[in-house]
């Protein structure tokens, strides 16, 4: 039953992506179509191929400015897996298991930093942005805890699947909303709107982490929380997250990660501080593939989770002083910075 539904969703997806280009028109097809070498769907070169016939951005929305956190080769990886999100034993099994760690981490941290407390629905009243939400594996449980969750992902098929899966639980109807867009757009549309931003297993797929963090700061309320889980850039992370997990044990598909894009907690902290955050917590996480389970550890040399808080007095942070003079950045509020360009 599940499999059939998800397959049906997959079959409809290509047409649907184009139909929903009205939403994407904001990110301006015209700009992309005007780019030399880009062919339109149905122009004989196959959908979204470039002049050389290379498979290109056919399933992805097009963005219109020059600075972006979204990379097309990263989206291609997730496009191939976009019907697999809710297969508990499939390619995203480790992310399902990670909920045992990250959901309580987010819940307890938010409650510690807040006076809002509601038994039964502890996160009621919290507005959370789940960036790179994929199929909604994290958005859904946070919604069930009472939070108003907005899940965003640049890949339309992920959002389509997340929407279908959400519809099976009526409790989530009013609480979880999904949108196919990138963080830059949210920063433009909804500055200062969220109590918390989550980027779980996303930063290692992002093209420009500095812009990404800056945009996260922009959508957060002063005093809001940013949660990141990601992978450190160490020899051990190369050995475990790439060689062992991808090439030997096939826990995730080969090619999912690029070591160059991993980031150390120190470097992440530098970006965070310059965007007006204070880092409150950095915890190591360890995945045990034999038991398909995660645990907290002190060592952060492979996987880690980070919690940072946006400073309340923004005038004193580098974020404000830099941001105000930086018109070329992908995340200020000028018209010229709407959306982003998908980079190859």
Ligand X SMILES: C[S@@+](CC[C@H](N)C(=O)[O-])C[C@H]1O[C@@H](n2cnc3c(N)ncnc32)[C@H](O)[C@@H]1O
Instruction: Give the residues lining the site for ligand X (CB under 6 A).
Output: 69-70, 74-75, 78, 95, 131-134, 137-138, 153-155, 158, 182-183, 200-202, 205-206
- The CB-nearest residue to ligand X is 132
Residue whose CB is less far from ligand X, 39 or 61: 61
Nearest approach in angstroms of CB 316 to ligand X is: 29
Residue whose CB is less far from ligand X, 156 or 195: 156
Nearest approach in angstroms of CB 155 to ligand X is: 4
Residue whose CB is less far from ligand X, 57 or 69: 69
Nearest approach in angstroms of CB 43 to ligand X is: 26
DSSP label at 193? -
Please, are residues 86 and 6 in contact by the beta-carbon 8 Å criterion? yes
Residue whose CB is less far from ligand X, 203 or 308: 203
Structure-token pair, residue 218 = 């922009």
E strand residue ranges, 63-215: 127-131, 148-152, 176-179, 194-200
204 annotated binding-site participant: yes
Nearest approach in angstroms of CB 147 to ligand X is: 15
153 annotated binding-site participant: yes
132 annotated binding-site participant: yes
The β-bridge partners of 282 are 306
- Distance, CA of 48 to CA of 38 (rounded, Å): 7
Residue whose CB is less far from ligand X, 59 or 126: 59
121 annotated binding-site participant: no
Q: Which residues neighbour 34 within 8 Å (Cβ) at sequence distance 6 or greater?
A: none
- Distance, CA of 289 to CA of 215 (rounded, Å): 34
16 annotated binding-site participant: no
Q: Which residues neighbour 278 within 8 Å (Cβ) at sequence distance 6 or greater?
A: 272, 308, 309, 311
Which strand ranges, in their side-by-side order, compose the sheet holding 220-231? 176-179, 148-152, 127-131, 194-200, 220-231, 303-310, 277-288, 293-297
Please, are residues 226 and 310 in contact by the beta-carbon 8 Å criterion? yes
Residue whose CB is less far from ligand X, 95 or 110: 95
91 annotated binding-site participant: no
Nearest approach in angstroms of CB 194 to ligand X is: 15
Nearest approach in angstroms of CB 307 to ligand X is: 16
Short-list 310, 307, 328, CA closest to 318: 310
- Distance, CA of 167 to CA of 181 (rounded, Å): 20
201 annotated binding-site participant: yes
Binding site, annotated residues for Mg(2+): 201, 204-205
Binding site, annotated residues: 102, 132, 153, 200-201, 204-205
């Amino acid at each position: 039953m599940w499999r059939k539904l998800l397959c049906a969703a997959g079959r409809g997806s290509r047409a649907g992506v184009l139909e929903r280009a009205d939403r994407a028109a904001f990110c301006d097809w015209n700009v992309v179509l005007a780019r030399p070498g880009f062919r339109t769907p149905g122009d004989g070169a196959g959908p979204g191929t470039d002049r050389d016939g290379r498979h290109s951005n056919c399933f992805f929305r097009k963005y219109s400015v020059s600075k972006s956190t979204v990379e097309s080769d990263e989206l291609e990886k997730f496009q191939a897996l976009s019907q697999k999100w809710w297969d508990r034993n499939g390619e995203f099994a480790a992310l399902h298991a990670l909920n045992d760690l990250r959901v309580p981490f987010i819940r307890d941290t938010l409650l510690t930093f807040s006076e809002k407390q509601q038994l039964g629905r502890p996160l009621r009243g919290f507005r959370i942005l789940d960036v790179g939400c994929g199929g909604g594996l994290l958005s859904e449980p946070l919604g069930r805890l009472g939070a108003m969750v907005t899940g965003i992902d640049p890949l339309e098929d992920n959002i389509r699947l997340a929407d279908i899966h959400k519809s099976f639980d009526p409790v989530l109807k009013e609480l979880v909303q999904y949108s196919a867009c990138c963080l830059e757009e949210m920063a433009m549309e909804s500055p200062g709107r969220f109590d918390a931003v989550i980027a779980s297993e996303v930063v290692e797929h992002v093209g420009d982490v500095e812009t990404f963090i800056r945009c996260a700061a922009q959508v957060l309320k002063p005093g809001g929380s940013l949660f990141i889980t990601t992978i450190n850039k160490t020899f051990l992370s190369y050995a475990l997250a790439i060689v062992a997990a991808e090439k030997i044990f096939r826990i995730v598909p080969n090619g999912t990660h690029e070591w160059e894009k991993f980031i150390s907690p120190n470097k992440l902290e530098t970006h965070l501080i310059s965007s007006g955050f204070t880092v409150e917590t950095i915890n190591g996480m360890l995945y045990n593939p034999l038991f398909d389970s995660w645990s907290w550890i002190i060592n952060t040399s492979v996987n880690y989770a980070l919690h940072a808080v946006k400073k309340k007095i923004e005038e004193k942070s580098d974020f404000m002083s830099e941001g105000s003079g930086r018109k070329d950045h992908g995340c200020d509020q000028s018209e010229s910075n709407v959306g982003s360009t998908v980079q190859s």
